[in-house]
Amino acid sequence: MSSVVDDLVPVDLARCDDDMLLESWRELECTRNRLAAVEHRFVAEVERRGLPFTHGARNTAAFVRALLRVHPREAVARVAAASAAAPMTTLTGETVPAPFPRVAAAQAAGTISPRHAAVVVAAVERLPDVVQVEHGARVEADLVDYATQFDPHQLGTLALRVTTLLDQDGTLADVEYRERHRDLTIRQRPDGSASISGEATAELAERLLTILDALAAPKPAEGGVRDPRTAGQRRHDGLLDALDLVQRAELLPTVAGISTTVLLTASAADWQTGDGVTTTGHGAILPTREAIRIAGGDARTMSVDLDGHGAVTGHTDARRLFTETQRLALIARDGGCTFPGCDTPPAWCQAHHVIDHANGGPTTIANGTLVCGHHHRHHQRQGWRSVMRDGRPAWLPPPWLDPHQHPRRNARVQPP
């Protein structure tokens, strides 16, 4: 075998035309697949001779791990693959065919990969015994045929459909199991951040994925710079945008007689300067500057006066929320997120104070604009600043992008 590899390594692929290059690669993959069938025979022969016991190994997988220096899970997988696709020899010397003969034949021919084989075997073994006896051979044959046409991921989806049709009671049991074990755990840290873990039902997973399809897509390139966020960061931001939309829809129930509200408590002086810290309604402590950013343009502020003993001596109620009428006017004027290159529709946008409310900016149409959640949160960090030009919102790019900082508009929603 080494001599074949020795012949292939020095081959100059640059001299091959496209057809030869791709055909050679397919042949290499076929050879790689066939090697799995050869290894199955090695495993079967080692077990027949009792070599794991002779060498003091706990089992065959432990022996394979020590002999070949492979990962424990890899060793277990190789032994399991051999037990499914290798013929066995009994103590009396009788040869017993492989439990999955079609898988074994396909691997010997190199038409399916070890991962394909694992998907087929797992699908058949998932069937109840009665169903497996009656339909197992047909399922194996069908899936092996599919394996020659689809990659292992696609094959897994097809295998699930096949086994679901044959074992609908088992599928319903799986649904009931997921329903019983549904869970969502949020472990909040002292700084307000949190780790999230849980088990989602199919309904929650599908609804969440559907929402993230809409809200977690990469943003259009800005000045030739692609969205720098990872896929995980985009999903995080998409979920945050979805929660913001739900809360602004004002459809949530009240909590202890109060409309669902993110509560941020700070001293008046700290809120004006951005210094100090702010406490959230769940006890987390944030830098006040971060709390102001979270509050954004859609915030209701309430001043509460406390005496030296902590007793309430007075309070005010001052809103800086844009009204429904103002929002409709912003939608008519802006048509969606006004940040350059963004195509987020108005229903997914927030009302943003062009001149920040904390700096004296009024809650008026002339000082408001629609901005998507992503750009609302990150435009300052990226160096962008919103301004009004001729009664329409525009954005000043950071100096590194445009040293002259010429105002830019979103051509999709606001023709220049």
For the chain, give every domain's residue range: 2-166, 324-396
Residue 79 half-sphere exposure, CB side, CA atoms within 13 Å? 18
* Alpha-carbon torsion (333, 339, 344, 350), positive or negative: negative
The type of residue at 322 is F
pLDDT along the chain (416 residues), means of 10: 64 85 89 92 91 88 92 92 85 81 94 94 88 89 94 90 77 68 87 87 84 84 76 90 77 59 75 79 78 63 55 53 82 88 83 80 86 83 87 89 88 58
In the prediction, which pLDDT does 358 show?
A: 64
Give the residue among 364, 351, 354 at the shortest CA–CA distance from 393. Answer: 354
d(C-alpha 109, C-alpha 132), whole Å: 25
In the prediction, which pLDDT does 140 show?
A: 94
Q: Who contacts 217 (Cβ-Cβ below 8 Å, separation ≥6)?
A: 234
In the prediction, which pLDDT does 13 show?
A: 82
Is residue 139 within 8 Å of residue 119, measured between CB atoms? Answer: no
In the prediction, which pLDDT does 122 show?
A: 92
In the prediction, which pLDDT does 42 show?
A: 94
d(C-alpha 266, C-alpha 272), whole Å: 10
Beta strands in 15-92 (DSSP E): 88-89
In the prediction, which pLDDT does 39 show?
A: 94
305 C-beta neighbours (distance < 10 Å), count: 11
Fold of the 324-396 domain: DNA Binding (I), subunit A (1.10.30)
What is 405-416 written as a DSSP string? ---B--TTTS--
In the prediction, which pLDDT does 203 show?
A: 81
Q: Give the position of tokens 């100096």.
A: 399
In the prediction, which pLDDT does 317 show?
A: 47
Is 292 exposed, middle or buried (CB count within 10 Å of its CB: 0-12, 13-18, 19+)? buried
